[in-house]
Amino acid sequence: MGKSNKNQPKGLSRRSVLAAGTAAAGLAALPGLTTAVRAADAVKVGAVLPFSGGLELFGNQAKLGIDLAVKEINDAGGIMGQPLEVLYEDNKTDPKTSVEKTTKLIRGDGVVALTGPITSNARDAMTATVKRLKTPLLYATNYEGGACDRYLFSFNTVPNQELAKLLPYLQENVGGSTYMFGADYVWPQKMFDAARTLVEGQGGSVAGVEFTPWGVKEFAPVIRRIADSGAKTLLFALPGGDGITFIKQAEAFGLFEKVTVGFLGFAETYLGAFGPGGGQNMWVTVPFVASNESPGVKDFVARIRASAGDSVPISHYVMTHYNAINALRDALVRQGTVSREAVVDGLEGLIVASPAGPVTIGAADHHVTLPMFLAKTEGDGLKTVQDLGRLAPEAGCS
């Protein structure tokens, strides 16, 4: 993957403060701080996200949602009168850097909670630190499930929410066997394990399963293997720049004239990168579709574009990170105090209003029941095909 950092927000090499007001000097929090802060202090939240290293596409989407939530909270008076302050750190799409940034934000900056990262590898690397320092992590990226702890909260989908409706639809409407191709790390691996069980349980067959390391530039061999397999459906889980490269090469080869794509982890930002007319008729199951005509979605899209511009794509990553920050606000108000433990206690069982509909945080498993939509790529965005209602997660907690 590319290492370009041209889209990184200004000042991320140090600390970027997005808030009304700044904490008083000399009040840095100690490790493990759980006592309520004084009324004059800002409520600090750390955001560990990729703004370089290959997945900045997703980091920038997350930032759109976080920025809007912070602005709206502060415009409304903050959290119980205290301004909200978000400290951004670039994890460079790297697990080791994620741990370093996490430690800095907790020990050095005294954040009350964290949000981010994007990859499961980075989240897993951060988990030991957030557990040891008893700091909640609000993870708003779709993932493979199984990350269950008092200090971990998931605000996006797990496999059953993304696959349980998508795969039967493709089998019924496309038919044939399924080929699975994705990046060689835990999320695609676990997603494909769940997908194989679903496909074979419905009487379907899997033509092949293949993973690729990061940074591959030539996908002709795997494209030929997919074409030669006779599969009618490609379940695809290769995020970032590598995924864009694959889709472009597969389209040039003519693969998608014969194969329909079920795109896991899709974001509308991909479509502009595919070029004019590229990336059409790909199928997804997501918790948010920007083109949806519901009043809540239309209003949310308008607010994002008012701050970020009319041409900005808006994916579910924008909404889930927006939801996470608003949930933190609601949790602290619910508890009536500002502390790390108050965030945890306040989030458990909380129902959060979101642009697409209510989101319920599990009291025990910390995963969310949320609205889901079957959609396909059309033009420069997604078109809703079916409103699937609110789907509960199978969190994978043991």
CATH number at residue 199: 3.40.50.2300
* CA neighbor of 314 nearest in space, from 322, 299, 323, 304: 304
The pLDDT assigned to 221 comes to: 97
CA 93 to chain centre: 14
CA end-to-end span of the chain, whole Å? 34
Judgement on whether residues 142 and 196 belong to the same structural domain of the protein: no
Gap between the Cα atoms of 28 and 162, Å rounded: 41
Q: Flag whether 143 is in a domain.
A: yes
What is the pLDDT of the chain when averaged over all its residues? 89
What is the helix (H) or strand (E) element at residue 335, kind and residue range?
helix 316-335
Q: What is the pLDDT along the chain (398 residues), one digit of tens a residue?
A: 333 333 343 333 333 333 333 333 333 333 333 334 344 489 999 999 999 998 998 999 999 999 999 999 999 999 999 999 999 999 999 999 999 999 999 999 999 999 999 999 999 999 999 999 999 999 999 999 999 999 999 999 999 999 999 999 999 999 999 999 999 999 999 999 999 999 999 899 999 999 999 999 999 999 999 999 999 999 999 998 899 999 999 999 999 999 999 999 888 888 878 877 888 999 999 999 999 999 999 999 999 999 999 989 999 999 999 999 999 999 999 999 999 999 999 999 999 999 999 999 999 999 999 999 999 999 888 999 999 999 999 999 98
Cβ neighbours around 216 below 10 Å, total:
16
Q: Flag whether 11 is in a domain.
A: no
What 3-state DSSP class applies to 211?
strand
330 touches 321 (CB < 8 A): no
Phi, psi of 93 (to 5 degrees): 55, 40
Q: Flag whether 42 is in a domain.
A: yes
Judgement on whether residues 262 and 308 belong to the same structural domain of the protein: no
The pLDDT assigned to 184 comes to: 96
Q: Flag whether 2 is in a domain.
A: no
Q: Flag whether 6 is in a domain.
A: no
Q: Flag whether 195 is in a domain.
A: yes
The residue behind tokens 């790297």 is 94
Split into its structural domains, the chain has a count of: 2
Judgement on whether residues 274 and 300 belong to the same structural domain of the protein: no
- Predicted confidence (pLDDT) per residue in 104-157, tens digit: 999 999 999 999 999 999 999 999 999 999 999 999 999 999 999 999 999 999
The pLDDT assigned to 5 comes to: 36
Judgement on whether residues 140 and 210 belong to the same structural domain of the protein: no
Judgement on whether residues 232 and 183 belong to the same structural domain of the protein: yes
Q: Flag whether 57 is in a domain.
A: yes
Judgement on whether residues 182 and 207 belong to the same structural domain of the protein: yes
Judgement on whether residues 115 and 38 belong to the same structural domain of the protein: yes
The pLDDT assigned to 36 comes to: 40
Task: Retrieve residue 247's tokens.
Answer: 């889709």
Judgement on whether residues 379 and 362 belong to the same structural domain of the protein: no
DSSP-assigned states of every residue in 104-128: IIIIIT--SEEE--SSHHHHHHHHH
Which residues fall within 8 angstroms of residue 6, CB to CB, at 6 or more apart?
Answer: none
287 touches 156 (CB < 8 A): yes
Judgement on whether residues 98 and 245 belong to the same structural domain of the protein: no
- The pLDDT > 70 percentage for the chain reads 90
Backbone Cα Rg of the chain:
21
Gap between the Cα atoms of 132 and 347, Å rounded: 19
The pLDDT assigned to 93 comes to: 94
Query: Which segments of 264-317 are extended strands (E)?
Result: 282-286
Which residues fall within 8 angstroms of residue 258, CB to CB, at 6 or more apart?
Answer: 227, 232
Q: What is the span of the domain harbouring residue 304?
A: 16-157+296-366
Judgement on whether residues 303 and 267 belong to the same structural domain of the protein: no
Task: Retrieve residue 383's tokens.
Answer: 């078109």
Gap between the Cα atoms of 323 and 222, Å rounded: 38
What 3-state DSSP class applies to 101?
helix
Q: What stretches of 216-315 show up as alpha helix (H) in DSSP?
A: 220-229, 240-253, 269-274, 295-308
Gap between the Cα atoms of 137 and 142, Å rounded: 14
368 touches 390 (CB < 8 A): no
- C-alpha distance from residue 172 to each of 97, 176, 338, 383 (Å): 44, 9, 50, 19
pTM of the model: 0.86
What 3-state DSSP class applies to 385?
strand
Judgement on whether residues 113 and 35 belong to the same structural domain of the protein: yes
Maximum distance among all alpha carbons in the chain? 66
What is the helix (H) or strand (E) element at residue 301, kind and residue range?
helix 295-308
Phi, psi of 41 (to 5 degrees): -80, 150
Cβ neighbours around 294 below 10 Å, total:
15
Gap between the Cα atoms of 179 and 154, Å rounded: 28
Q: Flag whether 7 is in a domain.
A: no
What 3-state DSSP class applies to 196?
helix
Judgement on whether residues 40 and 115 belong to the same structural domain of the protein: yes
